[in-house]
């Protein structure tokens, strides 16, 4: 099964993709996480991507399409994948269509996580992640059971993203509305677009996604 989670920055794509991964054995393919890993490793792609990401703009379609195509070929994706953050432009969506055909895979559903822009700055600026296992948390909306200790792995170190400032979120939102939102009619036209209420509480959003998949 190949699923796309489509939504604005802070809509909850990563949060829900982690849950789908844990529950259904699908692999979360977050292009943002892949780019951040490349930046941390100092690879050529990472060096190119860093300043673009910190401005809240989009990395080039060629780079992103190449990364996803190579990733889908890895053996852990054979049970299926959740695309979190890809595609983000019409060119990427078209490239995805041809790559799936080539790989003999089909796109099962595109789930739009609908949110109002007003809540997104608070979501993004309050976000933090376990440095050891990558589990995501929020200062107000998703705290670990024991403060300062990751629920999943017991880790005690956490990181925040350098692009999670109120300023950068505004450009990321603009990029979403200008370049990514046009994918909604694109997938609606193919009859595979579904929607969940991204404004609901995290567990409720999970329930809505599960209901769509059943």
Q: So which residues are the catalytic ones?
A: 13, 88, 127, 161, 172
Pairing of strands 127-130, 158-159: antiparallel
Binding ligand AP5 (rule: CB under 6 A), the pick from 3, 4, 6, 15 is: 15
Site string for ligand AP5, 97-116 (x = CB under 6 A): --------------------
Count of C-beta atoms within a 10 Å radius of residue 98: 11
| Contact flag: residue 133 with Zn ion (CB under 5 A) | yes
Angle (nearest 5°) at CA 174 between 168 and 177: 145
State which residue, 22 or 191, has the beta carbon closest to ligand AP5: 22
Which partner, Zn ion, Mg ion, ligand AP5, none, binds residue 212 by CB below 5 to 8 Å per kind?
Answer: none
By beta-carbon proximity to ligand AP5, the closer residue of 42 and 191 is: 42
DSSP calls for 99-167: HHHHTT--EEEEEEEE--GGGHHHHHHTEEEETTT--EEETTTB--SSTTS-TTT----EE--TT-SHH
* Residue 144 near ligand AP5 by CB under 6 A: no
Q: Is 144 in the site for Mg ion (CB under 5 A)?
A: no
Whole-angstrom distance, CA of residue 59 vs CA of residue 124: 20
Q: Rule CB under 6 A: say whether 38 interacts with ligand AP5.
A: no
Query: Comparing C-alpha atoms, which of 196, 201, 200 is closest to residue 211?
Result: 196
Least distance from ligand AP5 to the Cβ atom of residue 54, Å: 8
Main-chain dihedrals φ then ψ at residue 155, nearest 5 degrees: -60, 155
Decide: is 14 part of the binding site for Mg ion (CB under 5 A): yes
Residue 198 sits in the site that holds Mg ion (CB under 5 A): no
Is residue 7 within the footprint of Mg ion (CB under 5 A)?
A: no
Q: Which residues here bind Mg ion, judged by CB under 5 A?
A: 14
């Amino acid at each position: 099964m190949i699923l796309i989670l489509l939504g604005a920055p802070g809509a909850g794509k990563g949060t829900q993709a982690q849950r789908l991964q844990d529950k259904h054995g699908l692999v979360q393919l977050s292009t943002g996480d892949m780019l951040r890993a490349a930046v941390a490793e100092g690879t050529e792609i990472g060096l190119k991507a860093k300043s673009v990401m910190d401005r809240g703009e989009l990395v080039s379609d060629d780079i992103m399409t190449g990364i996803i195509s190579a990733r889908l070929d890895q053996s852990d994706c054979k049970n299926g994948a959740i695309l979190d953050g890809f595609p983000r432009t019409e060119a990427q969506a078209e490239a995805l269509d041809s790559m799936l055909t080539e790989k003999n895979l089909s796109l099962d559903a595109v789930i739009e996580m609908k949110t109002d822009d007003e809540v997104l700055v608070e979501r993004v600026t309050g976000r933090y992640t376990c440095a050891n296992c990558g589990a995501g948390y929020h200062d107000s909306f998703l705290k670990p059971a024991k403060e300062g200790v990751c629920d999943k792995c017991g880790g005690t170190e956490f990181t925040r993203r350098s692009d999670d400032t109120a300023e950068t979120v505004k450009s990321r939102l603009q990029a979403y509305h200008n370049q990514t939102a046009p994918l909604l009619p694109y997938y609606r036209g193919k009859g595979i677009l579904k929607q969940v209420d991204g404004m609901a509480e995290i567990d409720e959003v999970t329930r809505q996604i599960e209901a769509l998949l059943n």
